[in-house]
């Protein structure tokens, strides 16, 4: 038996079978789109977690959180590790172009709109900061409650 010839056929046969099956499968039609393709979740929820201290990263996280809020999503923000510096009173960050706004100003808008903003539960006990050092409207997260929120169906989770 010519094993070299057999080995080539063994590769060809599965590939030919796959191509034949693909050709027989009907392509989806536009009217077969799923609900997620055509309609937004009726109760969208966005969970934004900021762990970076970088000014532009914090700024973009706050821009997207504000945009989500403007598009009627429920927004929640958790600030952890170096990212929790944004929660400190007086820590606004540097102005960002093109709007000349700081991450802190964007965060203050979220707080003013009623968005729940917290620092991680382990931030204060592991730093020199206290609750008095947090900007107005920033709380301390309760892990069981955060986990419950994260596990809610439809919550979109974003980390920066």
Q: Domain span at residue 93? A: 44-159
Listed in sequence order, the residues at least 6 apart from 140 whose beta carbon sits closer than 8 Å to its beta carbon are: 118, 119, 121, 123, 124, 131
- Provide Rg for the chain, Cα atoms: 25
What is each CA distance from 57 to 12, 44, 86, in whole angstroms?
A: 50, 23, 11
pLDDT in tens, 118-143: 999 999 999 999 999 999 999 999 99
- Decide if 145 is inside a domain: yes
Picking from 93, 100, 86, 138, the residue whose alpha carbon sits closest to that of residue 116 is 138
Whether the CA torsion 149, 154, 155, 158 is positive or negative: it is positive
Structure tokens at 146: 């955060």
Number of domains in the chain: 1
- Decide if 75 is inside a domain: yes
- Decide if 102 is inside a domain: yes
Q: Which pLDDT does position 18 carry in this prediction?
A: 43
Q: Which pLDDT does position 88 carry in this prediction?
A: 97
pLDDT in tens, 40-75: 557 899 999 999 999 999 999 999 999 999 999 999
Helix (H, G, I), strand (E, B), or coil: what is residue 156?
strand
Q: Is the pLDDT of residue 89 over 80?
A: yes
Q: Is the pLDDT of residue 19 over 70?
A: no
- Decide if 1 is inside a domain: no
- Tell me the CATH number at 57: 3.40.1260.10
- Decide if 35 is inside a domain: no
- Decide if 26 is inside a domain: no
- pTM of the prediction? 0.74
Distance, in Å, from the CA atom of 59 to the CA atom of 48, rounded to the nearest integer, reads 12
Cβ contact 140:133 at 8 Å: no
Other beta carbons less than 10 A from residue 79's beta carbon:
26
- Decide if 106 is inside a domain: yes
- Decide if 108 is inside a domain: yes
Helix (H, G, I), strand (E, B), or coil: what is residue 138?
strand
How confident is the model over 83-106, as a mean pLDDT? 96
Cα angle: 44, vertex 71, 91; to 5 degrees = 95
């Amino acid at each position: 038996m010519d094993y070299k010839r057999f080995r080539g056929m063994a590769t060809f046969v599965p590939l030919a079978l796959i191509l034949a099956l693909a050709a027989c499968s009907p392509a989806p039609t536009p009217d077969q789109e799923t609900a997620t393709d055509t309609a937004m979740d009726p109760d969208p929820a966005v969970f934004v977690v900021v762990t970076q201290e970088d000014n532009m990263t914090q700024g973009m996280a706050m821009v997207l959180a504000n945009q989500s809020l403007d598009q009627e999503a429920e927004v929640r923000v958790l600030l952890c590790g170096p990212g929790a510096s944004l929660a400190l009173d007086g820590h606004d960050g540097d102005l960002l172009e093109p709007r000349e706004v700081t991450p802190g100003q964007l965060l203050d808008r979220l707080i003013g709109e009623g968005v729940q903003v917290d620092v991680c539960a382990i931030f204060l006990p592991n730093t020199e900061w206290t609750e008095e050092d947090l900007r107005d409207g920033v709380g301390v997260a309760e892990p069981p409650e955060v986990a419950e929120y994260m596990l809610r169906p439809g919550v979109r989770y974003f980390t920066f």
